[in-house]
Amino acid sequence: MLREAGPGGNYGPVGQGGRFGDSLDSRHVFGHVFGIEIVIACVVFGAVLGLIALAGIWSHYKRRHGQEPWRKSEHHLFEGAYTAVIAAVAAFIVFLSFTSNAKPAHVPPAKVHVYVTAYQWCWRFTYQGTGVSITATCEDGHVPTLELPTHTVVHMSLISADVVHEMWVPHLRFKMEAFPDHVNAWDTELYSTGTWPGRCSEFCGIYHYAMHFYLKAVTPATFTTWLHGEEAKLHSGHTLAGNSGEALP
Amino acid sequence: MSTIPRRLERVAATPPEAPPLGLLGYFTATDHKKIGVLTVTTSLILFFVYGGMAITMRVQLAQPNQALVPANMYDQLFTVHGSGMIFTVITPIALGLGVYMVPLQIGAPGIAAPRTVLLGYWLNVCGAIALLSGFFTGNGAAQDGWYSYTPLSSSVYTPGPGQSLWVVAGFLSVTGMMCMAVPMLWTVLRMRAPGVTPLRLPVFCWSEIVSCLMVVAAFPSLLAAVGLVAYGRTNPAIFSNDIWDIAYQQLFWFYGHPVVYVMFFPFAGVVVESLATFAGRRYNSYKPTVIALLMFAALSMSVYGHHMFTTGQIANDYYSLTSICLIIPAGIEYFGYLGTIIGGRIRWTTSFLFSLGFVVQFLIGGLTGVMLGTTVLDYDFHGTYFVVGHFHYTLFGGSVFGLMAGIYLWFPKVTGYLLDERLGKVHFWLMALGTNTAFMPMLILGFTGLPRRVSTYAPGYGFGTLSAISTAGAFIIGIAMAVFVVNVIRSLVRKVPAGPDPWGGHSLEWATSSPPPRYNFVAVPPVHSYAPLLDLRLEAEKEGDKQGRPA
């Protein structure tokens, strides 16, 4: 029996997931921080390779000229100096991590609220206040699509109906774990239209590899039309399950 | 029992050993050297078993939509590969090297409580048997990954004895490791030869001390975690409450992060010995390194939350802070490594090459680790192949390369025979090529969107090419390992004698015969620093200068 995430449900405390610096654009924040850290990483890696090369060349020189290896093995001033440099780099990265993960100062109230239920082995997306609920089988290429409007703050609430899952949209550079007895909630905003794959990234059993969905971002007008269409279908008695499954390309 | 022979004169007067018992002798051994050899050899054999599983997985993943092994079997393979390597291969080897070398390096005639150490070995063997026997049960072996999160690992979602055997395996092998760590700690605290003060211990001994401290402090947490799974397998209803699911993750990772350091530090210590020996220099910045090791051990208790950034149920900033602070001790170690080889006169032996491989490849693991410790980057990387690439760079590119540096360094000491240096270099270059071909594509795969623990993947996302390259790398590693096996067998057949000190070593294990006698030393030379044999050589040189002879 699946437990549904939705209003009126009795779940654990709402988590504090998904906080992104000065914006709700996780992709942008990721790009910014990753850009800095990859540069630091490349500089450090290059420096270590360079110093190893220096050691090799110097050793060759010493051998050729019959020089002995250095004898001194303690340099307190130098040891203090490099420790200070490393500590400064660490402090900078801590600062970067803290600021990029800080809660935004002003988040406008969310206009769309989606409840996501992860279950073995597919997804269900329920739009608050509409009764529209999208799911599929995640078999034979039938995966559900989470349709969202662009330039709109969207509130996501994520729960699992069975084991721990994880909702990941690689394009957004963001993921959040789904627990059976705990709601994780976050706000997000999309800035361009498009369709991107979403995947489960916490091992959840034998069909974990096929637990996919699509995230489809459309203009607010298209979204409203689509949502009303789904609601109309609902009232005219269409079955819900599987009606939005889309074949993989 | 009450009189541990601390005075070496008494050791020298010990009656000759009882007639050897042959193979049986290994199973009742109280000689730390036999127990050490037993531990490392057994784990190396298991290393090949679990390595074979890894190659099977890589073949399955070489192309999209492949069905070489069924999904259910694939899940068993990655679970047993991961659990087996961590519980019963790398951790026991890390401690087993210490069981052999620490008493020698401190000039002690033996290890404290040798039967407890031997019990640890056997508990670990039983753990390995329990884990592997899962393959012969109805639902197959454990299949929920090495961290087997609840409620997936409860009897509702994973019925059958395989997963229960995983609980047994974890419990036995981790208990075994505690049985090895405590006597080792006792040995190094109480059984040092005269003159061997704490700040004259070789860095390898310090790396074993901090590893044992982490075993003592963190490993009991795994017993609690698997105990929780055991209870949950009889009463799965407890996991309908979030508190137990998140408690499991906390308990597991409180063990799960320190164990990574236990699997790393002894090899970092090996690399220190190898670099210093072959650069012909005293290890540079000894005191900062000792402080860094202790700082690592202390910090390791508080960083585990970075495995849980995406749970939404942990203080992300705090664990990001502690994790990034690890840069400080890690950086000090790297300055120590580089400061030792710069200004040295390097002998480019196989052991030295593996140490350099360790330094370079572990750095990739460390730098990607900083990214994983940065919360907003982990929101993308968690649970992906980026993580798989990261920890294989640390544990394979790092620890296994460090292990090989140790084997090429100490094989002559342990067996009395030299390994072939030419084959050793072929082994090294193949392994370096294979490691980077196998694991670099994993970092990119994770970056482009491939989750870990998928038994197959859909075409059309560009995962196929990189996966095929990674598979090719796995085969190159396999060939490199075959070269290693050939080298070991060849050396045991040809028996080229090594002599007591083939490398011009720095620490006390080189001041006795190869292999060392039952109680290790006839006489321990005077110890005035952490490189006593180097001191002796330099003194002799000075004497030589005084008498007008060429040095």
The string of pLDDT tens digits covering residues A144-155 is: 999 999 999 999
Tokens matching residue A180: 């059976």
Q: Is B139 on the interface with A (CB under 8 A)?
A: no
Predicted pLDDT of residue A1: 31
Cross-chain residue pair B359–A89, CB shorter than 8 Å: no
Say which residues have a Cβ less than 8 Å from residue B259's Cβ, sequence separation at least 6. Answer: B86, B91, B214, B218, B219, B222
At residue B543, the pLDDT reads 86
Q: How many CB atoms lie within 10 A of CB B214?
A: 24
B457 touches chain A (CB under 8 A): yes
For A160-218, what is each residue's pLDDT tens digit?
Answer: 999 999 999 999 999 999 999 999 999 999 999 999 999 999 999 999 999 999 999 99
Give the closest-approach CA distance of B539 to chain A in angstroms: 13
Whether A148 and A222 have beta carbons less than 8 Å apart is answered as no
CB of B327 less than 8 A from some CB of A? yes
* Interface probe, candidates B278, B376, B388, chain A, greatest A C-beta count within 10 A: B376
- Chain A: closest CA distance from residue B346 (Å): 6
Averaged pLDDT for residues B174-195: 96
pLDDT at A249 over 50: no
In the prediction, which pLDDT does B264 show?
96
Cis preceding linkage at B122, omega within 30: no
Which tens digits make up the pLDDT trace of B155-164? 999 999 999 9
Least confidently predicted of A47-61, A64-78, B31-45:
A64-78
**Tokens at B474, concatenated:** 């796995």
The minimal CB distance from A58 to the residues B342, B452, B456 is found for B342
For residues B63 and B72, give the distance between their C-alpha atoms in angstroms, rounded to a whole number.
18
pTM (predicted TM-score):
0.93
Report the pLDDT value the prediction gives residue B443, as an integer from 0 to 100: 98
Asked if A97 reaches chain B (Cβ–Cβ under 8 Å), the answer is: yes
ipTM summary value: 0.92
Q: What is the pLDDT of residue A5?
A: 41
Q: How many Å apart are CA A117 and CA A161, to the nearest integer?
A: 7
Q: Is the pLDDT of residue B5 over 80?
A: no
- Please report residues of A whose CB lies closer than 8 A to that of B346: 55-56, 59
Residues A217-229 have pLDDT tens digits of: 999 999 999 999 9
Give me the pLDDT at residue A4, please. Answer: 40
Contact state of B345 with A204 under an 8 Å Cβ cutoff: no
At residue B453 the predicted structure's pLDDT band, cuts being 50, 70 and 90, is: very high
Residue B17: what pLDDT?
55
User: What is the distance between the alpha carbons of residues B189 and B256, in angstroms, rounded to a whole number?
Assistant: 27
pLDDT digits 0-9 by tens, A46-68: 999 999 999 999 999 999 998 98
pLDDT category of residue A74 using cuts at 50, 70 and 90: confident
**Percentage of residues of chain A with pLDDT beyond 70:** 86
SS3 state at B114: helix
**Which residues, including other chains, have CB under 8 Å from residue B465's CB and lie 6 or more apart?**
none
CB A169 within 8 A of CB A114: no
pLDDT at A13: 35
* Mutation target among B310, B341, B467 for the A interface, most CBs of A within 10 A: B310
For an interface test with A, the pick among B326, B360, B379, B448 (most A C-beta atoms closer than 10 Å) comes out as B379
State how far the alpha carbon of B541 is from the alpha carbons of A68, B200, B528, B547, in Å.
12, 22, 17, 10
Residues A69, B72: C-beta atoms closer than 8 Å: no
Q: Alpha helices of A107-188 — where are they, by DSSP H?
A: none
Report pLDDT for A92: 97
Reported as a pLDDT band with limits 50, 70 and 90, residue B503 is: very high
- Distance set, CA B543 to CA B83, B235, B536, B540 (Å): 55, 75, 10, 5
Average pLDDT, chain B: 93
- The count of CB pairs under 8 A between chains A and B is 243
- Model confidence band, residue B19 (pLDDT cutoffs 50, 70, 90): low
Hey, CA dihedral for A59, A61, A64, A67, is it positive or negative? negative
Whose CA is closest to B293, among B267, B324, B254? B267
